[in-house]
Amino acid sequence: MAYLLGVVLFALAILISVSLHEAGHLATAKAFGMKVTKYFVGFGPTIWSFKRGETEYGLKGIPLGGFCKIVGMTPQDDDVEPGDEHRVMWKYPVWKRTVVMSAGSVTHFALAIVALWLAAVFMGLPNPDFPTTEQQARDEPAVVVLGECVVPENVVRACTPADPASPAAVAQLRDGDRITSFNGAPIANYGQLLTALRAAAPGATAEIGYVRDGQAATTRATLASTQRPPLDDETGPVGTVAALGVGLRPSTPNMVTYGPVDAFGATAEYTGNMAVGTYEAMKRIPQKVPALWEAITGGERDMDTPISVVGASRLGGEAVANDAWELFVLLFISLNFFIGVFNLLPLLPLDGGHIAIAWFERVRSWLYARFGKADPGRVDYLKLMPVTYAVILVGGVFTLLTITADVVNPITLFSR
């Protein structure tokens, strides 16, 4: 039930943010005097609507977005009524059209930044000092978290009754104990503990030295057997190794909260990291298409493959089901930031495509004037329709691919 609630809440949050995106277009267009005839949440058949002034507001039956109809977005539009010729969008100065067309993305950025600041103050943001790489984790002190069992295969899954119990738990170790020695050899960090375990034989009895609440002690544990790749090559061949049934508890907290003033700096830093991460993720999209197809056709789903709103909503459901509300919020923030950036790409029919054309027209007119030539006028959008259709086709296929992968082989962050 909690999972379903999380899915619904996340989908609703995205629908609201997309509706606010369109409200950004609406508000700025009206502020400049452009004529806006429709503002609807959803697509398809109209469920409910009302008219205020010259604009019809309403709700449609398919809750997959929304739209705002601004009269005369291009010179080729035929939706201009007599007397409204001076209010068509394409006749307004380029800076005003830029403001209107970018207002949707600005709304997404504003939502992400405000949510980030609130998260920094009340929930916390990921700690930049938290170990995120394998080497950073191995350099941490060997403070452990006990597993319930040892999974014999090299997979991440929940324990079953057939799995052997964690040797560390059987040996009366506890969460937060710091391992200091293994069979008499000193252990300075988690990496040395892993190395010592790989050198031991499955089924052997090991003497474990540890510190608990400042007090040193020892215990003996019979090591279990599991399958793992070499420590220096995670993609190498899997072999049988000894296991203690522990994980690492990092010495630094995963999340850090900030005061109201310090939160501005943390928000700016996190936003910068999101910008870099979004750029890198968008560069990798073409090379991830084969991985998506492999996931659909029965292969393992790569955690780094793109997800759709369906996949994001499923992750939101997992977050709520596991009481990980900070993950829910960070997913919402990241998705809003990505949508904001994506919409500014200079491709039709995206907002960025309209902005690019507006500035192309302005620069071209300036250059023609500098050379004493007549203004060539506006771009003919009809000539760009083949390119627009190609973008829509590619985007549609990619969306269908990600949705299918998210349905048949979704990414999961928690063991079930």
Residues marked active site are found at 22
* Dist CA 318 CA 198 (whole Å): 34
Q: Closest by alpha carbon to 168, among 202, 206, 213?
A: 206
